[in-house]
Structure 1
Amino acid sequence: MSRRLFITSLLFMLLSPGLCRAADEKPKMKGPITVTSGMLSVDNKEHTALFEKNVVAKTSDMTMAADKMLIFYKEGSGDVTKIEASGNVRMFKETRAITSQNATYYADGEKVVFTGEPKAIDGENVVTGSLMTYFIKEDRSSIENSRVFLKNRKDK
């Protein structure tokens, strides 16, 4: 098998969660995941894929970008178990954005934990803290040591 075909097959297996799910189970994320980067290194023994240089991961409703993303996957199934993003992390969903220096996605809990000066922005409202956890399925967040700036809307 050529190296290019092997890498393409591996990426398809890694980035297509849910192909083998039961029909009645809810998907964890909407749509397929597309990852682009300047460099990809795969370690089959450690079951990891390292994306570097301007990494962007997109689903149909969410985008995450970072300088580097390390993806951990299960042997055999190739299911993603964890993603560690580092360096200028940005996540966008609808009108909201979260920025930080580091973020870790946990597939089991369907959550993303942001550290390193995390900041959430929704319009003109801003929340900062020492640690932010975004629960994807529930579309809710928790923030430790929070500081909130809310812009009052003017009555019309």
Structure 2
Amino acid sequence: MIGAASLALALLAGAPRTGPRAAPPGGAAPPVHVTADEVEYRYKERKAVFVGRPLVKLTREDSVLLCKRLVADNDAEGRISHAVCTGDVRFTRGQKLATCEVATYDDAKGTIVCEGHPVLHDGDSVLHGELLTYDLDQDRAVMTKAKGTVVQRPGEGDATGRRKKRSAGEGAK
């Protein structure tokens, strides 16, 4: 089922389509697709407010950002250029999962910035910090003021077989 927000954005962008847009020519950022239960479009402001019951879903290639409310700024062509996601925020890409209080998507930079107790899970690794910046184009995460990193790998342990804890600066993911 296509969410009302997906259809509304497609129509507002001027083309009667219901799926994700094709990537613009010239190497521009990949298209972004949003599904939600409710959308309010503020034409004069070029803003769209999405509400999910339970969650709004913003998808860019294999990256998914989920939250209860997303406020997006659109460019002249109707593409999302910037969006702020709040309420039960989760970001996934492959086996990586990040949670936080507020996530900001920037289309031009190709980043998602997570603030408010961000936590990044990557397999057995868990990283807590102050600010998580995820570069979608480079598939790279940077956590500032990283703390509480635990890396557990099969066969890694001390003489008693207990797992070793590593700090953020000791080769953690």
* TM-score (ref. length: structure 2): 0.74
Other structure's SS at 2:11 match: helix
How many angstroms does 1:145 deviate by? 0.9
Matched length: 142
Displacement after TM superposition at 1:17 (Å): 6.7
Distance 1:52 1:11 in 2: 19
CA RMSD after TM alignment: 2.1
Letter in 2 for 1:140: R
**Identity across aligned pairs (percent)?**
21
For 2:12, the equivalent position in structure 1 comes to 10
| Counterpart-to-counterpart distance in 1, 2:13 and 2:80 | 11
Q: Distance in 1 between matches of 2:127 and 2:48?
A: 32
Question: Where does residue 121 of structure 2 map in the other structure?
Answer: 121
Q: Distance in 2 between matches of 1:135 and 1:122?
A: 15
2:95 matched to which residue of 1? 95
Paired residue secondary structure (1:46):
coil
| Equivalence for 2:83 | 83
Structure 2 spans left out of the alignment, 5+ residues:
1-6, 157-173
Which letter does structure 2 place at the counterpart of 1:55?
Answer: V
Distance (whole Å) between structure 1 residues aligned to residue 150 and residue 14 of structure 2: 42
Corresponding residue for residue 72 of structure 1: 73
Q: Distance in 1 between matches of 2:106 and 2:21?
A: 16
Higher CA-based Rg? 2
Separation (CA, whole Å) in 2 of partners of 1:49 and 1:61: 23
**In the superposition, relative to structure 1, how do residues 124 and 62 fare at CA in structure 2: closer, same or farther (>3 Å)?**
same
> How big is the shift at 1:91?
0.8
Q: Deviations over 1:97-117 (max 9, x none)?
A: 111110001112111110011
The range that moved more, 91-100 or 57-66, is 57-66
Q: Contact 1:132–1:144 at 8 Å: present in 2 too?
A: yes
User: Do 1:96 and 1:122's aligned partners in 2 also have CA atoms closer than 8 Å?
Assistant: yes
Q: TM-score scaled to structure 1, two decimals?
A: 0.81
